[in-house]
């Protein structure tokens, strides 16, 4: 049968491309992985390969046309399947007709070929709507939510929770009512909608009181499911107060506290629990067990971080340099500006000042914004200051970076930082935001601690850890003891390209900008 090849994601933020050259014609026999056409995005020339052996039956776009991502690019008869039948009947859609279609897992990030199924948000037999979240998948970079492209009924899930799904392979099968496909389907918008729905609370006020019931299917929104995973709560044991037993966040909280609202049907709760389910005590602590062990696989972001850290410490000779910075004047400046910019929707923390001062200092010390090859025979200097900030997210440590900080004002840095950290804490940061960093900041002081020995984020050559802010006694110019806002900072440098004198002079300049904000403002272009 003829299958449409759906143009996959070919780059972050790219929704269309120009067909530069067709490398095949209608009627040609092609092999899997054979180049079919060249397309031009606003970033690069990309070659699109075939994913099956077969015969090209139709080219949906002409040379020079604009092709939409996630729209049909060409059709082909796949080898081993029944050939398509050409019909000359009326083109009017038959809305009553149903057909089966596999949902093909699209590209979900540059260089990502597989992902782990974290959670199915639907079950076989469920009716789903277009743009509804179907499952959460974990790549080695982020947690991604996959939405449905059509309205229909889920017939088969090809993977179990915890299994590895391949990009461009069928993820699930569904029955679609009506037309086989919709024109100009924009899955990028669908993903955005699904992600935004996942970050909002599901509860809606009911006009009539609902009797809460326990639903074995555990009807709940993605946000509620994430909360349940965080608390290790079995949703099938939680009575839902919403329509048809839908579970809300407050239902989980009530379950943890062993508070069951009046009028709630708790008959299902009296059934014996499976050995996998876990009860939670009224003190919000798990029942203690003696002896035994628990082993779990290191996957996703944690596995990627582990590999990255091992590569860093085994190939880069680290050395550490520590100093203290007096932030009293900078804190006063921020306090004066905070409310003014808050009214403009800007979250002005101390971090944008650290980032901008770091960028200004790097302009004078370009070796801090470089990388070396593995045998240390070449050094590459970056023009852009892509400064990464370590974020302790729900899925592990993420280090998104703010691009081209040398061109941004403090306010622009603040806005970029807010957007990146909010996305990273949910584990849904864009893959491009995790690539291309040139230097990193780790704010351990937000959790506690003063001194650290941070590990360099390879291939960068330096990283700085910020300790907690302390009010400590110091001598002023008159020899009097005064209270000052002091922060300890710890640098780790690549000793192949940075020596102690260089890091000391660089730190002194960065420190000068932070301790004397007026100098930092004067240094800005």
Q: Which of 51, 99, 95, 102 is nearest to 73 (CA)?
A: 51
pLDDT at 143: 76
| Separation of alpha carbons 338 and 322, rounded Å | 29
Would you list the domain boundaries of the chain? 1-84, 300-523
Q: Which of 152, 188, 155 is nearest to 170 (CA)?
A: 155
pLDDT at 166: 86
pLDDT tens by residue, 465-520: 999 999 999 999 999 999 999 999 999 999 999 999 999 999 999 999 999 999 99
CB within 8 Å of 496: residues ≥ 6 apart: 316, 317, 372, 376
Q: State yes or no: cis peptide before 459, omega within 30 of 0.
A: yes
pLDDT band, residue 262 (cuts 50/70/90) = very low
Average pLDDT rounded to a whole number, residues 39-55 = 80
pLDDT tens by residue, 133-157: 898 888 766 778 888 888 889 999 9
Q: Could you identify the residue written with the tokens 């000391």?
A: 504
pLDDT band, residue 346 (cuts 50/70/90) = very high
pLDDT at 4: 80
| Separation of alpha carbons 357 and 509, rounded Å | 9
CB within 8 Å of 236: residues ≥ 6 apart: 214, 215, 216, 218, 277
Mean pLDDT is lowest, of 279-283, 356-360, 454-458, 498-502, for 279-283
The single-letter DSSP state of residue 287 is P
Question: Encoding tokens for residue 38?
Answer: 């060249």
- Confidence check: pLDDT of 39 > 80: yes
Upper half-sphere CA count for residue 486 (Cβ side, 13 Å) = 15
| Separation of alpha carbons 213 and 251, rounded Å | 11
- SS3 call for 371: strand
- SS3 call for 445: helix
The single-letter DSSP state of residue 443 is -
- Confidence check: pLDDT of 521 > 50: yes
Query: Exposure string (b/e) for 146-156, b if CB count within 10 Å is 16 or more?
Result: bbbbbbbbbee
Of 91 and 159, more confident = 159
Environment class of 522 (CB within 10 Å of its CB; exposed 0-12, middle 13-18, buried 19+): exposed
Mean pLDDT is lowest, of 373-382, 427-436, 448-457, 465-474, for 427-436
Q: Which of 71, 69, 79, 75 is nearest to 46 (CA)?
A: 69
Spell out the SS3 assignment of 17-34.
EEEEEECCCCCCEECCCC
pLDDT at 472: 96
CB within 8 Å of 11: residues ≥ 6 apart: 41, 43, 44, 46, 110
- SS3 call for 206: coil
Can you list the positions of beta strands (E) in 69-120?
Answer: 72-78, 98-104, 114-120
CB within 8 Å of 212: residues ≥ 6 apart: 239, 240, 241, 242, 245, 251, 261, 263, 264, 265
Domain 1-84, CATH among 3.90.78.10, 3.30.70.1290, 3.40.50.1100, 2.40.50.100? 2.40.50.100
pLDDT at 220: 62
Q: Which of 423, 424, 489, 422 is nearest to 462 (CA)?
A: 489
Can you list the positions of beta strands (E) in 158-298?
Answer: 164-166, 170-177, 213-214, 239-240
Q: Which of 520, 525, 141, 522 is nearest to 355 (CA)?
A: 520
pLDDT at 181: 41
| Separation of alpha carbons 23 and 7, rounded Å | 16
Identify whether the C-beta of residue 70 lies closer than 8 Å to the C-beta of residue 188: yes
- Confidence check: pLDDT of 107 > 70: yes
Q: Could you identify the residue written with the tokens 């002081």?
A: 445
- Confidence check: pLDDT of 186 > 70: no
| Separation of alpha carbons 206 and 64, rounded Å | 53
| Separation of alpha carbons 364 and 505, rounded Å | 10
Question: Encoding tokens for residue 76?
Answer: 């082909």
- Confidence check: pLDDT of 258 > 70: no
| Separation of alpha carbons 196 and 134, rounded Å | 14
| Separation of alpha carbons 98 and 177, rounded Å | 4
Mean pLDDT is lowest, of 144-148, 309-313, 341-345, for 144-148
Identify whether the C-beta of residue 458 lies closer than 8 Å to the C-beta of residue 315: yes
- Confidence check: pLDDT of 163 > 60: yes
Model-level pTM? 0.54
pLDDT band, residue 212 (cuts 50/70/90) = very low
Highest mean pLDDT among 186-200, 250-264, 327-341, 393-407 belongs to 327-341
pLDDT tens by residue, 373-393: 989 999 999 999 999 999 988
Highest mean pLDDT among 167-176, 259-268, 464-473 belongs to 464-473
Catalytic residue set: 495, 499
The DSSP secondary structure of 448-510, one letter per residue, reads S-S---PPP-TT-SEEEEEEEEEEEEEE-TTS-EEEEEEEEEEEEEETTT--HHHHHHHHHHH
The CATH number of the domain covering residues in 300-523: 3.30.559.10
Contacts of range 96-101, beta carbons closer than 8 Å, 24 or more positions apart: 96/177, 96/178, 97/177, 97/178, 98/152, 98/175, 98/176, 98/177, 99/175, 99/176, 99/180, 100/155, 100/173, 100/174, 100/175, 100/176, 101/150, 101/173, 101/174, 101/175, 101/176, 101/180
- Confidence check: pLDDT of 205 > 50: no
Angle between helix axes 500-515 and 351-364 (nearest 10 degrees) is: 130
């Amino acid at each position: 049968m003829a299958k449409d090849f759906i143009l996959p994601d070919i780059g972050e933020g790219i929704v269309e491309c120009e067909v530069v050259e067709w490398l095949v014609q209608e009627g040609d026999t092609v092999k899997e992985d054979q180049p079919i056409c060249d397309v031009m995005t606003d970033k690069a020339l990309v070659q699109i390969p075939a994913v099956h052996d077969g015969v090209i039956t139709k080219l949906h776009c002409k040379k020079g046309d604009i092709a939409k991502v996630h729209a049909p690019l060409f059709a082909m008869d796949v080898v081993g399947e029944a050939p398509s039948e050409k019909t000359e009947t009326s083109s009017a859609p038959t809305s009553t007709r149903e057909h089966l279609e596999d949902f093909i897992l699209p590209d979900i990030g540059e260089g990502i070929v597989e992902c782990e199924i974290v959670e199915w948000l639907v079950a076989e037999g469920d009716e789903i709507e277009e743009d509804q979240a179907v499952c959460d998948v974990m790549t080695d970079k982020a947690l991604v939510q996959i939405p449905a492209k059509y309205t229909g009924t889920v017939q088969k899930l090809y993977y179990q929770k915890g299994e590895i799904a391949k990009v461009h392979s069928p993820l699930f099968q569904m029955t679609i009512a009506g037309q086989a496909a919709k024109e100009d389907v924009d899955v990028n918008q669908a993903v955005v909608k699904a992600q935004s729905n996942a970050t909002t609370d599901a509860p809606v006020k009911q006009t009539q009181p609902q009797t809460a019931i326990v639903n074995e299917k555990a009807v709940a929104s993605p946000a509620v499911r994430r909360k349940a995973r965080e608390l290790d709560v079995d949703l099938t044991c939680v009575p839902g107060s919403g329509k048809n037993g839908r579970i809300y966040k407050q239902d989980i909280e009530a379950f943890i506290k062993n508070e069951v609202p009046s009028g709630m049907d708790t008959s299902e709760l009296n059934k014996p629990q499976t050995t996998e389910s876990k009860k939670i005590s009224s003190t919000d602590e798990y029942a203690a067990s003696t002896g035994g062990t628990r082993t779990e696989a290191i996957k996703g972001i944690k596995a990627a971080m582990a590999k990255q850290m091992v590569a860093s410490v085994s190939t880069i000779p680290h050395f550490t340099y520590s100093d203290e910075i007096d932030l009293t004047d900078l804190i006063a400046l921020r306090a004066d500006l905070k409310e003014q910019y808050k009214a403009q929707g800007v979250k002005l923390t101390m971090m944008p000042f650290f980032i901008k001062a770091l960028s200004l200092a790097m302009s004078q010390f370009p070796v801090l914004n470089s990388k070396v090859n593995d045998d240390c025979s070449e050094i590459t200097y970056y023009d852009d200051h892509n400064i990464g900030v370590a974020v302790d997210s729900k899925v592990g440590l993420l280090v998104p970076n703010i691009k081209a900080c040398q061109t941004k004002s403090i306010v622009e840095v603040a806005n970029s930082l807010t957007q990146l950290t909010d996305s990273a804490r949910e584990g849904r940061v864009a893959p491009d935001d995790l690539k291309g960093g040139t230097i990193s900041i780790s704010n351990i002081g937000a959790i506690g601690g003063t001194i650290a020995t941070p590990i360099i984020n390879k291939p960068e050559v330096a990283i700085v850890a910020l300790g907690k802010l302390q009010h400590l006694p110091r001598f002023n110019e008159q020899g009097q003891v005064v209270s000052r806002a002091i922060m300890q900072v710890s640098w780790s440098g690549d000793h192949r390209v940075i020596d102690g004198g260089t890091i000391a002079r660089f730190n002194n300049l960065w420190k000068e900008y932070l301790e004397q904000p007026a100098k930092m403002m004067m240094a800005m272009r």
